[in-house]
């Protein structure tokens, strides 16, 4: 506790960040010694510039570490530092690990030995909003933890699917814990923190969100995880940054194939061309990561039941074991072509129907 207040104090500075904090820790052996050191001592550290030394010295002169510690404790926030035994093992292995983690919720509820990152576009398509929950539902009954960034779109979909299927989930945010971004995720944030996992940040609680912080937090999302599943990604997207980090961290990279007409699948197919594993069902994830399904029969029961949305059930009831053409399905269902294609793709990916040449479809004989 005596050293903790100095970790917190350094993290409240605008100068440096995690990389600088770890340079100070490695040089002085404790953050207390680093805090009490002079400018002349700090400037000798390779990697810390004279300009950074001046900023650190100026900023810390007006701070009271005891007061900062009390402020964090009063918010019911747990703090884990790089020197702590409960610092996540996988995260410690990456380049530039976070020097400090602020945690709300209970990280101990999460199985950090089976962590799967799920990321993708903030402007997620209807297709992925239907497919992704089905894939995550296939993990129900396991002890897998879903890690994502609590952003709009795919991130929110992944967290909610985890909650819906009694899986623990970790949200890694690009601001301090005092700020919920986007604001519409307030309820989701609260559900995760109240017994369903944890929300974590490397930033002092009072730090607001900033554009540059989101790519930086992506290294934590992938760094906490044994593998990353990319749900949707354009050619220029934060999800592709996470994909690159996943490979740099020597972790498994997986992708969900999507409609080729969707711009948010262009990054997906580029990743698949370079060797990313293809995921169309939960078993693909388990096979890629060489995980077995843990805990009871719940997962098998889920697998043996057919859980369909209204539109999916309508199509399922129209089809039989004899092939039916796309135009005929449109005629019988009353759906438009785009809506029907989404439903057919969802049913096909889940093995409920199969497509034959000539754009004809039939029920699978499972």
Tokens 């109240």 sit on residue: 194
pLDDT level of residue 291 (50, 70, 90 thresholds): very high
* Amino acid 88: pLDDT: 95
Instruction: Please state, in angstroms and rounded to a whole number, the distance separating the CA atoms of residues 236 and 211.
Output: 15
Question: What is the SS3 string spanning 188-241?
Answer: HHHHHHCCCEEEEECCCCCCCCCCCHHHHHHHHHHHCCCEEEECCCCCCCHHHH
Instruction: Please state, in angstroms and rounded to a whole number, the distance separating the CA atoms of residues 255 and 285.
Output: 10
Structural class in CATH, domain 1-74 = mainly alpha
Residue 306 confidence (pLDDT) above 80: no
Residue 161 confidence (pLDDT) above 50: yes
pLDDT one-digit tens code per residue, 24-81: 999 999 999 999 999 999 999 999 999 999 999 999 998 999 999 999 999 999 999 9
Q: Is 323 helix (H, G, I), strand (E, B) or coil?
A: coil
Q: Is 353 helix (H, G, I), strand (E, B) or coil?
A: strand
Are the C-beta atoms of residues 233 and 131 closer than 8 Å to each other? Answer: no
Q: What is the mean pLDDT of residues 256-281?
A: 90
CATH topology for the 307-363 domain: Arc Repressor Mutant, subunit A (1.10.10)
* Amino acid 365: pLDDT: 57
The DSSP bridge pattern shows strands 353-356 and 360-363 to be: antiparallel
Domain range list for the chain: 1-74, 107-303, 307-363
Residue 295 confidence (pLDDT) above 70: no
Instruction: Please state, in angstroms and rounded to a whole number, the distance separating the CA atoms of residues 310 and 13.
Output: 53
pTM: 0.79
pLDDT one-digit tens code per residue, 176-233: 999 988 889 999 999 999 999 999 999 999 999 888 888 899 999 999 999 999 998 8
Are the C-beta atoms of residues 354 and 366 closer than 8 Å to each other? Answer: no
* Amino acid 225: pLDDT: 97
Instruction: Please state, in angstroms and rounded to a whole number, the distance separating the CA atoms of residues 253 and 288.
Output: 9
> DSSP per residue over 53-117, as a string?
HHHHHHHHTT--HHHHHHHHHHTT-EEEETTSTTS-HHHHTSSS--SEEEEEE-GGGS-TTSEEE
* Amino acid 164: pLDDT: 95
Domain 107-303 grouped into CATH 3.40.50.450: yes
Torsions phi, psi for 117 (to 5 deg):
-85, 135
* Amino acid 305: pLDDT: 46
* Amino acid 307: pLDDT: 64
Nearest alpha carbon to residue 353 among 335, 340, 334, 337: 340
pLDDT one-digit tens code per residue, 101-134: 999 999 999 999 999 999 998 888 889 999 999 9
Instruction: Please state, in angstroms and rounded to a whole number, the distance separating the CA atoms of residues 7 and 100.
Output: 7
* Amino acid 338: pLDDT: 87
Residue 304 confidence (pLDDT) above 50: no
* Amino acid 236: pLDDT: 79
Instruction: Please state, in angstroms and rounded to a whole number, the distance separating the CA atoms of residues 300 and 180.
Output: 36
Residue 340 confidence (pLDDT) above 60: yes
Q: What is the mean pLDDT of residues 141-166?
A: 96
Q: What is the mean pLDDT of the chain?
A: 90
* Amino acid 21: pLDDT: 96
């Amino acid at each position: 506790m005596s050293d903790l207040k100095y970790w917190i104090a350094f993290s409240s500075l605008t100068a440096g960040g995690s990389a600088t904090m770890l340079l100070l820790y490695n040089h002085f052996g404790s953050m207390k010694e680093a805090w009490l050191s002079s400018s002349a001592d700090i400037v000798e550290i390779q990697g810390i510039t004279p300009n950074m030394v001046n900023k650190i010295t100026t900023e810390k002169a007006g701070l009271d570490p005891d007061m900062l510690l009390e402020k964090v404790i009063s918010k019911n926030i747990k703090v884990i530092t790089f020197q702590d035994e409960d610092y996540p093992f996988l995260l410690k292995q990456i380049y530039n690990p976070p020097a400090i983690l602020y945690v709300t919720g209970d990280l101990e509820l999460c199985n950090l030995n089976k962590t799967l990152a799920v990321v993708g576009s903030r402007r997620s398509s209807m297709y992925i909003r239907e497919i992704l929950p089905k894939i995550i539902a296939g993990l129900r009954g396991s002890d897998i933890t879903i890690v994502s960034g609590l952003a709009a779109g795919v991130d929110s979909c992944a967290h909610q699917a985890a909650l819906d299927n009694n899986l623990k989930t970790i949200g890694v945010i690009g601001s301090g814990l005092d700020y919920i971004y986007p604001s519409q995720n307030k309820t989701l944030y609260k559900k995760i923190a109240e017994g369903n996992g944890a929300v974590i940040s490397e930033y002092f609680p009072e730090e607001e969100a900033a554009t540059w912080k989101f790519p930086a937090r992506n290294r934590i999302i992938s760094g906490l995880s044994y593998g990353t599943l990319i749900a949707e990604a354009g050619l220029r997207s934060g999800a592709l940054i996470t994909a690159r980090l996943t490979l740099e961290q020597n972790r498994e990279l997986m992708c969900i194939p999507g409609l080729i007409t969707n711009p948010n699948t262009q990054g997906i197919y580029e990743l698949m061309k370079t060797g990313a594993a293809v995921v169309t069902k939960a078993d693909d994830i388990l096979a890629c990561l060489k995980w077995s399904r843990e805990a009871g029969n719940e997962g098998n029961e889920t697998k043996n039941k057919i859980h369909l949305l209204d539109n999916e059930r309508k199509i399922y009831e129209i089809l039989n074991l004899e092939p039916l053409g796309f135009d005929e399905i449109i005629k019988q269902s009353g759906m438009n072509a785009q809506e029907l294609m989404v439903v057919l793709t969802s049913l096909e990916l889940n093995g409920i129907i199969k497509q034959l040449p000539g754009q004809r479809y039939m029920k699978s004989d499972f």
